Structure 1
């Protein structure tokens, strides 16, 4: 009987065990080498290419450039190539008076920071300020400007309150009046106090119409005395509470019949 021996041939495309091990070793070495290079770059880059100057542009009336520079310096990690500008932008905008910040690298060692500060139009509730766009922020009490009017309401309604304040401020100014405070309570009840001391109760209904009614009647009211409260929450008229030296409380109307219970 003749014995036969089968010889198995290995495909040329199938790697041998030693070749696989070699490729794995080379890959591991390359990966490790890249890690070393990244580490060396991260270690040496801030030392070789440091940021030496933080230059601030833009008006900073309440937060000095020095304070902003100090804040950014404490948050700065890396050199001119690796500094995290998004993180530095967040750090700048965490300062209460900073509304918007934009940062860019200036070769070889300078960081340029452009800043826009919040511009408040009024105080907001107990300890805040509000911008024309209805942005509420809370700075240190010593940095709050004096003489601003007071707006009050829920923070979610700040854009609406700020918008109405600006509209009503202009309308009342044409009639010779200035707003001292404007508020809206959780029920949506609007109230305006004028600098002259008169309180306007506008209620929850058609407040624009009611304010217009007061403006149209303001000359006659002032000629009659000193009104303390003008309650405009009636369908066709208003009730007036006068100062003690200006006579009894009276009720005015637009010449049409009123339903005294129709207030809102």
Structure 2
């Protein structure tokens, strides 16, 4: 029994050695037959060793090498080498030089080809002008005729046009091959402007405008005559006075009754005391409105006017600025009290402007009469006079006008008999 176990043990030990020497790991799976290790990848590809070869595998078997992508040149690899950088620089120089030469050729063609010449004034198209004539606007482009359209500065011509008093805004564009398009936006006048014996127009910002024959004959202008806007005044001063004037006109027309039709002249020399000449069906009356409450003061004046006209046939002015007090002033003896002036000077200005050989562009009118200043009477004196006679009596009081609160009282200067 012990010998058998020993023989069995020997048999068991011999079996792996024989199998290892013969190249088999088990009865069903062959082992590599070569005496040297199998080449890389041989086992993965399923090749078996060849016992006839000294190394145990065939000579046809190639050594395994991993696959690599083909080497391709790139911008990064070229920049890493000096030669690559030089080549790229040469290519860029050639491209830039070609572009510069092409641009120079195009520029030379555009600036020298006769197709782009502004041959005559017919090549300048002007729209939007109503008060200014085409000839007046073409004077700005006098030096551009027979000139290349690309050599004309559009910004300079726009600035030249906007320096003209009537032009509020201008735009200038090129129309290829050789034309200019000019769009004009003119200023809108809001009043006639009196400058001494001259009558012109003024817009909402206080820009004074000449009034030629075309403008004077425009029948739809029925503005009041505005005084107090002087050409030597700074632009902000004129704009502030025009703001007071526009507020006055807007308030009077705010109820839809067009009360401004009765206003023939407005004085804004003192912006805190706007004065207006109002048509009353007889001699015009000067009314002091101050700088606010224009509509309520106008309504109060119209309400009291019938009574005043009966009592004071020579009424010259009424100061409505002060609460509880209205100051009336009479015409002096010898004053020429005639019919009211027309509310629109368009017809008269047109007749003057269309006279032959008129040297001035503005219509000439007779000089305006000086506007009388109202005397302010304190309410105390007015009340005392009223208790005595029952009627308002004139009284001069030295000193500055005061705002008085109390019952409405009317004071006036006695008319000369």
Alignment TM-score > 0.5, same fold = yes
**What does residue 229 of structure 1 align with?**
317
1:156 aligns with 2:156: no
Matches within 5 A, 1:94-243: 94-103=163-172, 105=174, 108-124=177-193, 126=195, 129-131=201-203, 134-139=204-209, 149-152=225-228, 154-157=237-240, 158-165=242-249, 167-168=251-252, 170-173=258-261, 177-183=262-268, 185=270, 188-194=272-278, 196-204=283-291, 206-223=293-310, 224-243=312-331
Contact 1:130 1:162 in 2 (8 A): no
* TM-score with structure 2 setting the length: 0.46
Q: In the aligned structure 1, how far is the partner of 2:96 from the partner of 2:175?
A: 38
Correspondence for 1:50 among 106, 114, 117: 117
Q: CA deviation at 1:215?
A: 2.0
CA RMSD for the aligned pairs? 4.0
Higher strand share: 1
Which residue of the partner structure matches residue 68 of structure 1? 137
**Shift of residue 105 of structure 1?**
5.0
Distance in 1 (CA, whole Å) between partners of 2:265 and 2:212 is 21
**Structure 1 residues 122 and 172, CA, compared in 2 at 3 Å: closer, same or farther?**
closer
For the residue of structure 2 that corresponds to 1:136, the secondary structure is coil
Q: TM-score, normalised by structure 1?
A: 0.67
Cα deviation 1:109-129 (Å, max 9, x = unaligned): 443434343332324575974
The count of residues paired between Structure 1 and Structure 2 equals: 237
Residue in structure 2 matched with residue 257 of structure 1 by the alignment: 407
Q: Deviations over 1:193-240 (max 9, x none)?
A: 346453212224534322221122223333331322211122134110
Whole-Å Cα distance in 1 between the matches of residues 175 and 110 of structure 2? Answer: 20
Instruction: Give the Cα–Cα distance (whole angstroms) in 2 for the partners of residues 110 and 25 of structure 1.
Output: 38
In 2, distance between residues paired with 1:238 and 1:220?
14
SS across alignment from 1:25: helix
The structure-2 alpha-carbon separation of the partners of 1:129 and 1:205, relative to structure 1 and needing over 3 Å to count, comes to: same
Distance 2:294 2:127 in 1: 43
Cα deviation, residue 241, structure 1: 0.6
Q: Which runs of 5+ in 1 are unaligned?
A: 1-9
Question: What secondary structure, in the 3-state scheme, does the structure 1 residue paired with 2:322 have?
Answer: coil
SS in 1 for 2:323: coil
Larger Rg: 2
**Residue segments in structure 2 that go unaligned for 5+ positions in a row:** 1-75, 218-222, 230-236, 336-391, 396-405, 411-417
Superposed CA offset, 1:146-199 (max 9, x none): 9960143622322442342355483153xxx3321231625x332223464532
| Deviation readout 1:232-263 (Å, 9 max, x if unpaired) | 122134110111359x9669xxxx81489xxx
Indicate how the Cα distance of structure 1 residues 162 and 172 shifts in structure 2: closer, same or farther if over 3 A, else same.
closer
